[in-house]
Amino acid sequence: MTADLTIVAIYADLLGTYGDNGNLTTLLHRARLHGLTTDVISIQPGDPVPSQADIYLLGGGEDTAQTAACAALRADGNIRTAAENGAAILAICAGYQLLGEYFPDSTGARSPGLELLDIRTDRLPQRAVGELAAEPISPSQSTGSTDSNQWPVFSGRFTGYENHAGGTARGPSVRPLGRVLSGIGNGDGTEGSVSGHIIGSYLHGPCLVRNPEIADQLLGWAVDRELPALEEHSVNELRAERFRTVLGH
- For ligand GLN, the binding residues (CB under 6 A) are 17, 60-63, 66, 93-94, 97, 163-166
CB 71, min distance to ligand GLN, A: 15
CB 139, min distance to ligand GLN, A: 28
Report DSSP letters for 19-70, one per residue.
GTTHHHHHHHHHHHHTT--EEEEEE-TTSPPPSS-SEEEE----HHHHHHHH
Instruction: Catalytic residue, from 70, 93, 164, 207: name it.
Output: 93
Nearer to ligand GLN, 83 or 165 (CB): 165
Nearer to ligand GLN, 20 or 216 (CB): 20
CB 88, min distance to ligand GLN, A: 20
Strands in the chain per DSSP E: 5-10, 38-43, 55-58, 88-92, 102-104, 110-112, 119-136, 158-170, 178-182, 190-191, 193-195, 198-201
Instruction: Catalytic residue, from 70, 164, 197, 204: name it.
Output: 204
Nearer to ligand GLN, 202 or 243 (CB): 202
Q: Give the nearest residue (CB) to ligand GLN.
A: 60
Gyration radius of the chain's alpha carbons: 17
Residue whose C-alpha is closest to residue 157's, from 41, 240, 245: 240
Any idea how long the chain is?
249
Q: How many whole angstroms separate alpha carbon 175 and alpha carbon 112?
A: 21
Residue whose C-alpha is closest to residue 55's, from 97, 9, 121, 124: 9
Nearer to ligand GLN, 62 or 232 (CB): 62
AA letter at 74: R
CB 96, min distance to ligand GLN, A: 8
N-term to C-term CA, the chain: 47
Residue 204 annotated among the catalytic residues of the structure: yes
Nearer to ligand GLN, 63 or 216 (CB): 63
Catalytic residue list: 93, 204
